[in-house]
């Protein structure tokens, strides 16, 4: 089974400039990384990544921030940026830009420390934005647990787009991190599952401190969940998100001219 969230039905009131800026910076840094020879990339990661042994002996705390813009590969970058794009806008809207940025950095720092404390003598660098993004997911599940998330699901030969409650999508994600802990304890390197868990729990606990006063927790759903799109294509799903965003911003639904159905529809 292949399971991939695409977007939610919860458009933000303002443009998420901080989320977009983080995505842009991570992409630019990755493009820079990709242009380096292996030896140069190795030195870059070991200089700017979080190395637990160095963090606790030399108090190299600035690497906690710099490590959040480095990634170990395209899939590492892509998965992180996808989750930030889907869920970051609403959390940023609920907190305001400055507090959202501070929240993101704090959750990323807690995530890095959680992972580092598991093996404080480790010399393996920790990199990636997933700790801070895990904090955003933790905040989202407290703010909008019943928001529907459009999920692409592929089971053998069946391909569907399904509306699933956010608490199930994000609960499935954090649950998979806990299930992977035993394997992580017996291996060297790989995915920093403890950072994900630490960041997620920090986000759940800190959202009440960082959110705006008028923003309530546990907002109700705006769309029916568990509906299955059997004929809707990906471009139609993107079109639906565009309609939701324009309706939210302008109060009117933009019109679209549908093309005639072809033989493959």
Kindly report, residue by residue over 110-164, the tens digit of the pLDDT.
999 999 998 899 899 999 999 999 999 999 999 999 999 998 877 777 777 888 9
Can you give the pLDDT at residue 57? Answer: 84
Which residue, 82, 198, 212, is CA-closest to 132? 198
pTM for the model stands at: 0.82
Measured distance CA(94)–CA(140) in Å, rounded: 10
Compute the residue count for the chain.
Answer: 265
- Taking only the tens place, the pLDDT of each residue in 202-245 is 999 999 999 999 999 998 877 666 666 654 455 555 555 555 55
Q: Where are the domains of the chain?
A: 12-147+164-221
Residue 196 predicted with pLDDT over 90: yes
Assess contact for 225 and 145: CB atoms under 8 A.
Answer: no
* Domain 12-147+164-221: CATH class, spelled out: mainly alpha
Backbone angles phi, psi at 210, to 5 degrees: -95, -25
């Amino acid at each position: 089974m292949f399971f991939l969230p695409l977007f939610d039905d919860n458009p933000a009131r303002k443009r998420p400039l901080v989320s977009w800026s983080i995505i842009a910076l991570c992409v630019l840094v990755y493009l820079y990384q990709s242009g380096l020879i292996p030896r140069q990339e190795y030195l870059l990661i070991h200089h700017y990544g979080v190395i637990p042994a160095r963090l606790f002996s030399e108090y190299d705390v600035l690497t906690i921030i710099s490590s959040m813009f480095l990634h170990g590969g395209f899939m590492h970058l892509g998965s992180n940026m996808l989750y930030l794009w889907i869920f970051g806008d609403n959390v940023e809207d609920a907190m305001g830009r400055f507090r959202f940025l501070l929240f993101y950095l704090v959750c990323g720092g807690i995530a890095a420390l959680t992972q580092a404390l598991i093996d404080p003598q480790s010399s393996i660098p920790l990199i990636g934005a997933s700790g801070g993004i895990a904090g955003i997911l933790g905040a989202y599940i407290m703010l909008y647990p019943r928001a529907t998330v459009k999920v692409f699901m592929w089971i053998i030969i069946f391909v569907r787009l399904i509306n699933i409650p956010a608490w199930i999508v994000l609960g499935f994600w954090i649950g998979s991190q806990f299930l992977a802990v035993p394997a992580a304890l017996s291996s060297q390197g790989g995915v920093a599952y403890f950072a994900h868990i630490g960041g997620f729990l920090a986000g759940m606990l800190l959202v009440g401190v960082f959110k705006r006063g008028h923003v309530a927790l546990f907002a109700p759903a705006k769309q029916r969940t568990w509906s299955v799109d059997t004929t809707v294509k990906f471009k139609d799903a993107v079109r639906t998100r565009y309609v939701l965003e324009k309706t939210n911003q302008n109060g009117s639904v933009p019109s679209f001219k549908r093309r005639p159905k072809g033989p493959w529809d």
